[in-house]
Each structure stands twice: as structure tokens, then as C-alpha cells.
A and B are shown apart, each in its own frame.
Chain A
Amino acid sequence: MAAPTASAATPGDGPYLQVRDLRVRFRTEDGVVRAVDGVSFAVERGRTLGIVGESGSGKSVTSLAVLGLHDPRRTEISGEIRVGGRNLVGLPDAEIRRLRGRELAMIFQDPLSALHPYYPVGRQIAEAYRVHHPGASRHTAWRRAVEMLDRVGIPQPARRAEQYPHEFSGGMRQRVMIAMALVNDPALLIADEPTTALDVTVQAQILDLLADLQQEFRSAIILITHDLGVVSQVADDVLVMYAGRAVEHGSVEQVLRRPQHPYTWGLLSSVPSLHGDPDTDLLPIPGNPPSLIDLPTGCAFHPRCRYADHTGGRSLREVPELRPAAEAGHLVACHLSEEERRRYAEEIARVGVAR
């Protein structure tokens, strides 16, 4: 069961998922929404990429694009999404469908609304198995579903498989979702805010479970979240998104310990720290994320950035490119010079928060 599926990427040809210059646009009555605007990243099997950002930063749109779940009539997608070496952008839906649920699986935020209310959970899991194993009998698929429920830690799996989603607690429901996503040993698992709807203790259990299962199945995981605590707990790499663009990308150590982008500073300062001064006020990032129909010129973050006027006006004119920062593998999209960023970051470290 732990062996990678036969059709997974052969070892040696790079990361399992490689996204290059992904652009996703929606045509609406009010104009074109640039939900994702030139994002690139890669995930290897056995590793976890955390994608972080506020609502509307393009995290979920990116993940839905990887699974090909956008409505093709309203969406324009360009760039490359390579899964096991094969580009999915432009493939007919029927072909992507064969990968969905088998190679690429997804866990959604709210397991109550994401499970069908009228079918027993075992049936929903068995259905996910049978669609990709047409030769499997009902009985085999059902046994497989019960086995998966057992694997994700649901007690009395045979009895619980016959129950409906509303008969489960929130945490147990998310386990059901995970069982359903993993029933076909997918090579890539996308978890879109998998713990947001759960309380903190259950959150930790679910994250532990995901980590265990990743060890066992050696799958690549993309974890979408706005919770930096979750990211620091499970991610290997982090991609910070703002207004549909990547603003910082690096290892979890680099991005969370030595952040380079003012937006990441802001995110980190708005989270309470166990080691910080309890009397210090948390500092939210002022303002709101911009409208994706009418982005600010230049750096999309400039209206909310307190360093924007230190760049001689470039922040208002040029879109900053994602460029290597001091450390290898650490990328940042900011007009501030290396020197300036280090100085401001030191100040922040001294004060404790990014004022």
C-alpha cells in the first residue's frame, strides 16, 4: 500500500509537480479578475509546500487550477502545470479527470459541506476508489473504504462507514475527507485550509495524521493556509502570495526565521508569539487586500507597505520581480535593496514586531 503508484513520476526527472508562470484569469461583468498572475513553484514527493496569504491572494485558485477544477468557459489559464513531467494546461478535461482523485487529490476546508449529505461516507469513499479501479467489485471497494477509515484513525470503521456525514464530529469528518483523498494513493495531495474549521486540539491531530500518512505514502503535499503556526509545524517550503503573485519563496526556516518581504514581516507580526512580550500589541497589516480587477500600479503591496517610499518611487511604477535573496533558494519580490531589508529586519527583530 505504501509503494508509489506505477504511473507516478519516475525518479530523477525532477519535482513531481512543477508550476511555471501560472496565470489564471476570470472574465466577469466588472472586468477581468487576475486571480493568479505569474506564479511558479515546485513540490517533490515526500515534501510539503505551504502556500500562505490572505483571502483573495490566489492560494485556492492556484490549487483548483492544478486539479483542473475551474470552469473552462469562464477561466483563462496559461503557463505550465507539469505533473510527473506532463503539462496539464490545455489538456482536455476528460484526461485531467483521469488524474484527479488518483494522482492528484484534494482535501477541502469544510468537511461538512464538502461531503455529500445523502450518502453514507463509506459509499463516498468506495465511489472514489471504484472510479479509478473499474475492475474492482463493490465489495472490494467497500472493504478498501473501511480499511482507509481505519487507517485515518476512525474507531469501529466498519460500522462508521455506513453512517452519514452529519453523524460525525468535525475532526472525524475531516478524517473521512482525508481517507477519501488518499484511497487511491495519490502522488500529490492538496490540502486547502484543512484545519481551519476545526478546534485547536483536533487541528494538531489532523496535522499529525497528515504527516504520518505522508511518510507512509511518500506523497507531495501542498498545504494552503493563512495560519503560520500550521505552516511552521508541517511545511518544508513556503510560498507567500499577495494579490495573485508570489512575493516570497524559500524553505520554512528562511521564510519564517529570516523573512525578506515587508508583507511577510507584517504577517509574522500579526501572530502572537509564545516567547514574545505579552504586553506588546499585535500589529495587523493596515488596509485590505487590493481588488484583483483593479490592482495598484507597481508593487501591489505598496499602498499597505510602510517602506514603499524608500524605493525612490519604483514601488509605484514597477512590478518587483521574484529575485534571489542572500541565501540560496530564498526568493523575494521587493524593490528594497538587500542592505535595506537587512537593516529593517534587524530593527524589527529588536522591537519584536514589524512596526
Chain B
Amino acid sequence: MLRFLVKKLLLALTTLIAVSVVTFGLFFVVPRNPAELMCGDSKNVCSPERIEMIERRMGLDKPIVTQYGDFMRGIFVGRTIGSGETARDCPAPCLGFSFRNDEPVTDIVARTLPVTLSIVFGAAVVWLVLGVSIGMISALRRGTVLDRLAVGTSLVGASMPILLFGPLLLIGLVYETGLLTYPRYTPITEDPVAWASAMVLPWFALGFLNSATYARLSRAQMLETLSEDFIRTARAKGLPKLTVYGRHALRAAITPIITIAGLDLGAYLGGTVITETVFGFTGLGKTALNAALNLDMPIVMATVLLAAVFVVTANVLVDVLYAVIDPRVRLG
């Protein structure tokens, strides 16, 4: 188990280092000089001397390898950017300063990440509970009207983009009927009730659409598991139906679902641009998108790196969880 874990962690670390190198490289393939971007758009303000000064202040005149080293050190121990009277202290985890408004990127992430976390974790609860229960019920009631209805609904759900479903929800529940107010994000630490009520729409929208995939997946898994010999054994022991389905079938059927849920979660945590945009939240996804459009490279690097950390962490967690769920994995 320990060897397994160490191997996985080393692999994860290698991946992250590779991602950080590539991301850092992005900085230098961008067509415009960062110093120019920082200086502002109005040409008359930016004299060559001024650009040179900015470059020096940001350390852009140093060799690339040194710059990468500084960047990575900043993340773990913090650093001082620039020198002399323009030196700015950037405590760990230092991700640099936004080109646009000089705000520390760490602050931007700290402000926008909770929004995305709130959306994704809440939606994940919705899609797992909804998807798995619909899938299980339609597997157990295979061929009935209920099953057909569930399969049909999930087909619609799986093929509908949130770009359409989100606005439809807004029109139906907010603009036309006024059942809900237009969501406005409130941090959970300030007012949990306001936080939750703002989250209802994105949770439902993202959760419902994803539940379609999960319903189909769990239906297929459950049907396959129900035809396994060990289910017949469980019934031959005289176990009640509920125990056969719950303890024996569900346990085996849920394993691949957990894997996929973990990977999905990792991918979504990097940002849910469309959901955030549709419901007017400034989450990590929207921040990343705006930064990319504005060539605000420190933010782009931070968000890409963060997304990679989420995906890699989710992968490691899924691997470990798999070994916990399936005793046969431990030896391998």
C-alpha cells in the first residue's frame, strides 16, 4: 500500500512540474511583451525607458531558468519582486501580480476560488445523488415506464448544453415567474443561508445536466452487477431484496462511478466558465477566461497551475479510494 502510494505521488509530482514548466513557457511565447502590457495601452505614456524599467523591476531581464526558479520559489517560500524602491514583497504562496491592476494573484484566487468550489461541490452532490438514484431505480425497474422515462430524460439532459439550460432556468424561475431572485454570491462565512440560496440555480443546472450521464452510467453498471454470480449467491442466502441491492449490488456497481466522479470533480474545480458566466458569478473559470483574453499572464499561469493541481490530486485520490473500495487492488 505504501509503495503504491509513493509511486502515485511521485508520478503526480512529475506531472505538476511538467505542467509548471509548460505554463511558465507560455509567458514567453505570448506575442506581446509583458512589460508593454503592464505599462498600459496608451502609447504616449510608454516610452522605451519606462518599459525597460518595468522589465528590470519584474526581473524579465534575467535568464529564463533563473526566472522559473524565482517563480517556483515564490510559490513555496515567497519572494520579493523587483529591487530598490520599487521592490514589492510577495509572501508565499506568491503567484505574482496582475498586469492589469497590480493586485496580488494570490488575492484574486482567494476571492474567486471559493465561488467555483461552492458551485462544483454543491452540483456534484446533486448529480451524484440524483444520477445514481435514477440509474439504480431504472436498473431495478428495467423495461417499465419508469425506466423508459428515466432513460429518455437522461438522454435529453446529456445532450443539452448548460449554455441553453441555464438561461432557460433563469427565464422560467427568475424573469417570468419571480420564484427566485437573480443569484448574487455571498461567501458562506458571511451568511450561509444567502450563500445557499444564491447557489440553488447553478447547483441545479450543473447538477441536473451532469446527473444524466451518471444515471446512464449507474444504470448500466447496476444491470451488469445484477447479473453477476455473487448476486445470485446473495439471493440464495435468503437475504432480503434491499440488502441484496444495497449491500451487495450497489457496493460493486458504485466503484467505477466513484472513479469517474473523482475525475469529473477534479476537472470542474479548475473552473466552470459557462456556469459562472450564465449566472453572473466571478469564479475561477471566468477569471481565467478574462485573464487569457487580456493576456494577463500571471493570472493565466496561476489558474492553469491550479487546475492541474486539482486534476492531479483528484487522480491520486481516486487511485487511493479505489484501493480502499476494492480489496483486490491492494496487491497490484
Contacts and interface: CB of A to CB of B under 8 A. Distances in A.
A and B associate in one complex: yes
Interface of A: 67, 69, 97-102, 105-106, 108, 110, 113-118, 127-128, 131-132, 164, 166, 177, 180
A101 B232 CA distance: 12
Contacts, number: 67
Nearest to B144: A73
B229 interface: yes
B238 A116 contact: no
Interface in B65-98: none
A254 B142 CA distance: 47
A117 B326 contact: yes
Nearest to A117: B328
A69 B243 contact: no
A116 B248 contact: yes
B252 A102 contact: no
B228 A118 contact: no
Contacts of A110: 229
Among B230, B232, B252, max chain A CB count under 10 A is at B230
Contact of A118 (B229, B243, B326): B326
Q: Which 3 A-B pairs have the closest CB atoms?
A: A101-B238, A100-B238, A113-B229
Interface residues of B, number: 20
Contacts of B194: none
A132 B243 CA distance: 13
Contact of A117 (B232, B240, B243, B327): B327
A100 B230 contact: no
A276 B16 CA distance: 72
A127 B251 contact: no
Nearest to B240: A97
A326 to B, nearest CB: 40
Contacts of A108: 229, 232-233, 236
Interface in B301-332: 325-328
B239 interface: yes
Contacts of B229: 108, 110, 113-114
B236 A131 contact: no
Contacts of B238: 97-102, 128, 131-132
B3 interface: no
Contact of B232 (A69, A102, A127, A128): A69
